[in-house]
Structure formats: structure tokens, C-alpha cells
Amino acid sequence: MKAIPLRLKPKQDLRVEIETFCRNMKIHSGCVLTCVGSLSFAKLRMAGGKSLIEKEGPFEILSLAGTISNDGVHLHCSLSDESGQVWGGHLSKGSLIRTTAEIVFGVLEDHSLNRNIDHETGYPELVVSANKD
């Protein structure tokens, strides 16, 4: 595995910038190793895929976890507000950087990640394949 760092700046859209960076860097199979920073506005999709919460910050990014596949990114984020209240869910477009986001991606050179509809869950789920030498 190789690691690739990225620093995002104020007013950038966290999800859009991650998608753009991964596409430009040709990261097709990877993961988010770490992320710290802050958001001025957050959009998170709750479990089940129906409802979005939209909140004004400031928020600290406590964690960002996810996978990067040939079919896009799947990202979960947890944030804390000024009182320490924690919010979490699927990171959606429209979540804006406040001061910075410092991200390190892990590139999985020996594996291919794809997503296919899983008939049991009804969602596109991760399919992992080992690359052949």
C-alpha cells in the first residue's frame, strides 16, 4: 500500500474535492487512512438513504472513513459542534471546509475494488478482487 496526502482549503466541498482528487490521481482501489480539519457547513445522509441533515458549523472533523473504488467513493464522517455534540453519517456533497482538511489516502495496489448491487441488501456493495501478477 502506498499513502498519498492531500490538504484542502477553506470553502472547498469536502466530498467533491475527494472525488476529483481520486479521479485525477487515478486512485481506483483505496481507502481514507485519516482526516482532520473543520467544516463550516455539513450535509450528512442518515442510515437507510432517505434523510439528509444540513447544519451550520463550525464543526471539527473527528473522523472520515471510507473506500475508493472504480465506481466512486463511499464515505462516512463524524463531526463535533461547539458544545461537543457529535453528528455522523454518509458524507454528502455540500459539506464545506472551514479552515482545512488534511487527508491521507491509502492506495491498495494489490486489489481491485468495485461495487455491484447486492440482491440481499439492495445497495451497491463492495466487491474485492486480488490483482494477479
Q: What is the pTM of this model?
A: 0.91
Which residues form the domain of 7? 2-130
Counting the structural domains of the chain, the total is 1
From CA 122, how far away is CA 126, in angstroms rounded?
A: 12
CATH number at residue 94: 3.30.1330.80
Backbone angle region of 19, left / alpha / beta, with phi > 0 → left and psi within -120 to 50 → alpha: alpha
- What's the pLDDT at 48? 77
From CA 58, how far away is CA 61, in angstroms rounded?
A: 10
Exposed/middle/buried for residue 49 (C-beta within 10 Å: 0-12, 13-18, 19+): exposed
21: how many CB neighbours lie within 10 A of its CB? 16
For residue range 2-37, what is the model confidence (pLDDT) as tens digits?
A: 999 999 999 999 999 999 999 999 999 999 999 999
For residue range 37-95, what is the model confidence (pLDDT) as tens digits?
A: 999 999 999 987 788 999 999 999 999 999 999 899 999 999 999 999 999 999 999 99
